[in-house]
Every structure is written in C-alpha cells, then in structure tokens.
C-alpha cells in the first residue's frame, strides 16, 4: 500500500493508533497521512458562516504546534509522515483523502461505546468502519511493539465474501502473521450442519484459489463466537467483513463487524464487502 491514514484528535487513543500505524507502515514501506479534523466551534463563526482570517490563522498555528509535539516520537524516525488538516467537524472526508493519496488502510484509536449511545450516536471510529471503502484497523489500547503473529479472520464464507477473504489473507501476509479462518455456527435459524458448512467453505475457498483450512466454532452469537475463539487461540488481531449498513437498517440489523470492533479488547481490522 502507498499510504496509511491515521485520523487523530491528539488524545491517548490517537497516540496508540499512530504507534500501530507506524509499525504497519514500516512493514509495507508506506507513507503515514496523519489527519486532523479542525472542529470549528459556533463561537468563532459569523452569522454567514464566515471565519475571520485572523482567527483562522490563530487556529492553524495552534494545530500546527500540537502536530509538531504529537509527531515528535522516536518510532516515527525514518518514516515519511505527512500531517493533514481538514476544516470539518467529523471524519467524513477520510474517503476523499484515501482516494487522493491511494491509501490502503485507516488506523484509528477507539474507546468503544455501549448502550443507547452506541446505537443512536456511535463513535467517530464506528462511523469510519461503517463508511470506509478501505480496511480500517481499530486499536483499543497501547501496543508498543505491534508484531502480530496470529490473525483470526471470521466470515460466513458465502461467495459475497470472496474478495474480502483474499484481501484479509494478503493483509496478514503483509504483516507477517499466520491467518486462521473460522466459521461461527450459531443455534436457531442460522444453524447449519457441518456438511453444509464445509460444502459452502469448499466452494468459496476454491473460487478464491486458497488452500487454507477453516475451523467451525459453535457459540450462541456470531460476535461472542469470534471474540471467544480469538481469545482461546491467543490471536493478536481479529479480521472481519462489514456491510457498512446505515440508517434504520443499521439500528435494527446492526453490523457484526462494528460490534466486534466496538467490544473487542484486541485490535480489529474490518474489510468492506
């Protein structure tokens, strides 16, 4: 990949994401695009929405100073790092930056969210996971030496997932990690016999031209199955597809990819179907 986008708000979570992104960039010889969305408070706007030039200059200088401090880290030495400032309140312009710079990955830090706030508001990270056309790596805590040895990738192995399976395998190879494929079988309407699952897996893996084995793991929900399997197998990283559902479809159907990214304590990389 040519470049990696790291949206930052100068928080501790941003630092964690930047450190992981630096480790990935060093493996893939990629440029780091450190992106900050400049929040423009209503107090500095005129009625017409115009921002006085003197205030804008002051804001830009303040952000540039914070960037200089934020990027003064030993793990960034030897890497190409480009700070980018956008004058928007949310992370909606990431896709534009990704297309312009041919980026292959977004790395973000996240607290995770719970309850009604998760459903109706969500976090900036969740919005990026939902909307990004390129993979998003979500980091929850500090990982000083990010060298994942084992990546678990879970999906339902339908032909719809063909491209993301290939993409996940390539991503693990780039990181130098062993990839473990898993199908989570759950009770109820989604339950399949082992024979039915293996037939589906065999067909999709044949189309993907991959000879990897796939484990069937039983649990009450897909989300719990992924998290439990990753924990039991000492995974360093979880990979999962996401549909990026929006609006009422998101509220009532949700997205397993977003749920896992929200609730996992391990880093999670999502791939858009």
pLDDT tens digits along 226-243: 999 999 999 999 999 987
What percentage of the chain has pLDDT greater than the value 90? Answer: 59
The pLDDT value recorded for residue 107 is 96
Angle value at C-alpha 20, between 31 and 174, nearest 5 degrees: 65
Q: How far apart are CA 269 and CA 42, in angstroms?
A: 35
- Per-residue pLDDT at 131 exceeds 50: yes
pLDDT confidence bin for 190, thresholds 50/70/90: confident
The pLDDT value recorded for residue 175 is 96
Domains of the chain: 1-146 (3.40.50.620), 148-273 (3.40.50.620)
The pLDDT value recorded for residue 43 is 46
The pLDDT value recorded for residue 28 is 86
The region of weakest confidence among 114-118, 153-157, 159-163 is 114-118
Strand stretches in the chain, DSSP E: 3-7, 31-37, 81-86, 103-109, 136-139, 150-154, 178-185, 214-218, 237-242, 268-272
Q: Which residues of 184-203 are buried (b: 16+ CB within 10 A; e: fewer)?
A: bbbeeeeeeeeeebeebbee
pTM listed for this prediction: 0.86
């Amino acid at each position: 990949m040519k470049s990696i986008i790291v949206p930052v708000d100068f928080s501790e979570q941003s630092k964690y994401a930047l450190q992981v992104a630096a480790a990935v960039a060093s493996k893939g010889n990629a440029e780091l695009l450190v992106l900050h969305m400049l929040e423009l408070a209503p107090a500095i706007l005129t009625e017409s929405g115009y921002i006085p030039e003197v205030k804008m200059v002051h804001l830009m200088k303040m952000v540039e100073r914070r960037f200089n401090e934020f990027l003064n880290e030993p793990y960034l030495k030897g890497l190409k790092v480009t700070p980018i400032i956008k004058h928007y309140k949310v992370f909606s312009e990431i896709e534009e930056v990704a297309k312009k710079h041919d980026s292959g990955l977004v790395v973000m830090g996240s607290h995770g969210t719970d309850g009604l706030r998760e459903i109706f508001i969500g976090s900036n990270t969740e919005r990026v996971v939902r909307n990004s056309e390129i993979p998003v790596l979500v980091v929850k805590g500090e990982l000083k030496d990010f060298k994942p040895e084992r990546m678990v990738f879970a999906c339902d192995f339908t032909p719809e997932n063909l491209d993301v399976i290939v993409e996940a395998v390539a991503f693990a190879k780039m990181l130098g990690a062993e990839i473990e494929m898993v199908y989570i079988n759950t009770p109820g309407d989604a339950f399949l016999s082992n024979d039915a699952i293996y037939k589906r897996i065999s067909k999709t893996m044949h189309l993907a031209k991959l000879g990897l084995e796939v484990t069937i793991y039983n649990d009450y929900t897909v989300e719990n199955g992924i998290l439990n399997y990753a924990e039991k197998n000492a995974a360093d990283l979880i990979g999962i597809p996401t549909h990026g559902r929006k609006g009422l479809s998101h509220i009532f159907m949700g997205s397993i990819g977003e749920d896992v990214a929200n609730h996992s304590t391990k880093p999670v990389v999502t791939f858009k179907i």
